[in-house]
Amino acid sequence: GWKWGQAQGLPAPNSRLCPTAAASKLEVSMPAEVEVEIGGTARIECNFYIPGNGSYTYIDWFYLDRTNTPVRLCHITGSEVLKEDTDYKERLSVGEDKALSISKVTLQDARTFLCQVGAGGSDVGENRTELRVYKVPETPEIEPNSAGISVQDSDNALIAKCVSKNSFPSPNITWHKNGEQLVLQENQAKFTRTRESSGLFTVSSTLFAPVTRKDRDSHFHCTVHYWLRGQRHALESRRVKITVFYPAEHLKLHVEPSSALVKEGDNVKLVCEADGNPPPVFSFFKRQLDDNWQELSEVAESDGGVLSLYGVNKSSSGLYKCQSLDLDDMGLLEEEVELVVNYIEGVHVKVDPPSPVLEGGSVTLSCAAHSLVDLDYQWSDEKGTNVGKGNQLFLRNLTFETPNNFNCTVIAPSVPGLEQSKQVTVAVQGKPRIVDISSPLYVRQDEVVNLTCKAIAFPKPSVHWNVNGTAHEYVDKQHVTSNLTVRVSHDLLRAGAMCRVSNGLGVSEKHIQLLDRKTTPESQGVIIVAIIVAILVVAVLGAVIYFLHKKGKIPCGRAGKQDITRPEARKDKIVVEVKSDKLSEEAGLLQGANGDKRPAADQ
């Protein structure tokens, strides 16, 4: 019958000498090819048919050397395997199905193996298998052109180089851009193949092609293709980009921050951007009143395509120009931008009627300023309190106490942070008004005292006393305080003193009354209060005694006298008698409270 085996190396689809039902002689069937990776184990089957269900006499395995001469590997008879002294002796084995296995396959094992079967007499059959050895290539490595490529180069430029190592047999390499395979001319790819000492192949391919501006965003990769077991396989490299040089075609110039928001004092940048690579050389200019352009490299800080202007003001407004020069083709591009610096100037406040204003009068404050944008006005007093909005502020019934410093703040709502302010003083004038005086004043004769008179007025008033003494004045804004140090005489005590305050608009005066401390109603009042307090103390003491009696703390009758204030050894001293007659007790308490004299027995 047929003897079938299995091999680790898969056989090719077609096998030699497929058996037929009409076979009348010994036939041997083997796979045409067996593939195995280097380092693996190859298993080659040998299946045979002997007519009449006969058995084999021997099986011999051979390989063909370089001259196609068979070299026997082993001789099999029954269950005995005799290995020949060849290079395969240590790596060779025969299975129960008589299949030949070769371990640790090398490149040198890629040859033809032959199986010969003998069935007695001269009946012999044989067949052969081609052992193919392969090694999967390593993942390809790609290196792009690091120097950069100019679009103005008319010839094909080196794009990248791709290398794959340690493969067998030799694979192929294809090139791809943005995921699509490139169809290359003969001069656009240079392929090399090198066989290493190990027998494996290293393959490389160099891509040459013209570039355009669009290639600045292109991705390139290479793919290694190899065959394995009748199927095509592929390994891809990483994606790479190349540096492409191209002249600028467009130029942009803008202001940071936005030109509509720039205000005096801001730091501004004029940013010039070109779409060339490498960036061109930038120059900045400003148009003068005579329409000539002034280069700004010497008067402003310029770094590449950025012009920095610090602390801009009204005079910084104007037309600016950026100019780019490409050093490859000497191409020149220009772009202009208008810089508008928002400002507030000429802030002033008009007082109507002009200051100073009479006390009790009214005044109108009008605030005005100049700007390129709409303005809002806010008013605040000297304490920072908001007192009004709009460009006018109306003040009525002015007094000396009215705040006389007002601030007009001018704000540009459309330009955050842009504001200016102006302060104005509204002076209120009028005759003096005495607001504080030390009267009445309690003194003793011959005592040295201070008399105080405080007034408010504008213009500054003068203070006069009708008595002699030492005067000291203190001025705080519109307030004037005069302290007069005098010795109290009999006449001063009787007549008092007069404070007189005057300025060009009028006079105010007030009298200071001096009272003798010995005869003052207040002294009499103190004595009366002291008497009342004493009476209340006695009344409270009597109430306490009555309360103790009602609680049983003090016995009734004269025999029950208790000493509630002294120790027991002093019971014969200061006792209190509590009578059983309620009316008598209450009368006694009232008498005690009024200070009446009681009998000696009740003391």
Judge if 445 and 411 occupy the same domain: no
Q: What is the mean pLDDT of the chain?
A: 84
State how far the alpha carbon of 161 is from the alpha carbons of 144, 148, 208, 211, 265, in Å.
7, 14, 9, 16, 56
pLDDT for 1 equals: 31
Residue 173 lies in a domain: yes
Q: Give the list of residues 6+ apart from residue 318 with CB closer than 8 angstroms, or none.
A: 286, 287, 338, 339
pLDDT per position as a tens digit, 473-512? 999 888 999 999 999 898 888 888 999 999 988 999 999 9
Laid out side by side, the sheet with 201-209 consists of: 141-144, 157-167, 201-209, 189-195
Q: Give the list of residues 6+ apart from residue 588 with CB closer than 8 angstroms, or none.
A: 579, 598, 602
| Residue 556 in this model has a pLDDT that exceeds 90 | no
What average pLDDT does this structure show over 389-411?
Answer: 89
Residue 231 pLDDT level (bands cut at 50, 70, 90): confident
The candidate with the shortest Cα–Cα distance to 190, out of 153, 160, 146, is 160
- Give the CA angle between residues 64, 65, 70 to the nearest 5°: 40
pLDDT per position as a tens digit, 410-446? 999 999 899 999 999 888 888 898 999 988 999 998 8
| Residue 404 in this model has a pLDDT that exceeds 90 | no
Tokens standing for residue 83:
């290995």
| Residue 575 in this model has a pLDDT that exceeds 50 | no
Q: Give the list of residues 6+ apart from residue 536 with CB closer than 8 angstroms, or none.
A: none
Answer with the one of 516, 546, 579 that is the final residue of a domain: 516
Judge if 200 and 107 occupy the same domain: no
Residue 534 lies in a domain: no
Judge if 77 and 155 occupy the same domain: no
| Residue 336 in this model has a pLDDT that exceeds 90 | yes
Quote the pTM value.
0.56
Burial of residue 510, with CB atoms counted within 10 A of its CB: 0-12 exposed, 13-18 middle, 19 or more buried: middle
Q: Which residues form the domain of 228?
A: 138-245
Residue 18 lies in a domain: no
- Give the CA angle between residues 559, 564, 566 to the nearest 5°: 105
Judge if 145 and 198 occupy the same domain: yes
| Residue 565 in this model has a pLDDT that exceeds 50 | no
pLDDT above 90 covers a percentage of the chain that reads: 57
pLDDT for 129 equals: 97
Residue 7 lies in a domain: no
pLDDT per position as a tens digit, 167-185? 999 999 999 999 999 999 8
The span from the CA of 100 to the CA of 28, in Å, is 14
What average pLDDT does this structure show over 574-585?
Answer: 33
pLDDT for 228 equals: 84
Residue 106 lies in a domain: yes
pLDDT for 52 equals: 79
Exposure b/e, 352-371, CB count within 10 A at least 16 = b = eeeebbebebebebebbbeb
Which residue type is seen at 599?
P
The span from the CA of 17 to the CA of 569, in Å, is 152
Tokens standing for residue 77:
């008879």
Can you list the positions of beta strands (E) in 135-195? 141-144, 149-150, 157-167, 172-177, 180-181, 189-195
The span from the CA of 21 to the CA of 474, in Å, is 144
pLDDT for 570 equals: 36
Tokens standing for residue 48:
């045979």
Least confident of 14-23, 276-285, 393-402, 567-576: 567-576
Judge if 71 and 94 occupy the same domain: yes
Residue 521 lies in a domain: no
Answer with the one of 339, 363, 388 that is the final residue of a domain: 339
pLDDT for 578 equals: 30
Exposure b/e, 66-81, CB count within 10 A at least 16 = b = eeeebeebbebeeeee
Judge if 320 and 230 occupy the same domain: no
Domain count, the chain: 5
Judge if 267 and 213 occupy the same domain: no
CB atoms within 10 A of CB 245: 18
Judge if 309 and 221 occupy the same domain: no
Judge if 406 and 464 occupy the same domain: no
Answer with the one of 426, 450, 468 that is the final residue of a domain: 426
| Residue 162 in this model has a pLDDT that exceeds 80 | yes
Judge if 142 and 241 occupy the same domain: yes
| Residue 14 in this model has a pLDDT that exceeds 70 | no
Judge if 52 and 64 occupy the same domain: yes
Residue 78 lies in a domain: yes
Q: Residue 90: helix, strand or coil by DSSP? A: coil
| Residue 379 in this model has a pLDDT that exceeds 70 | yes
pLDDT above 70 covers a percentage of the chain that reads: 85
Residue 554 pLDDT level (bands cut at 50, 70, 90): low
For residue 233, what is the domain's CATH number? 2.60.40.10
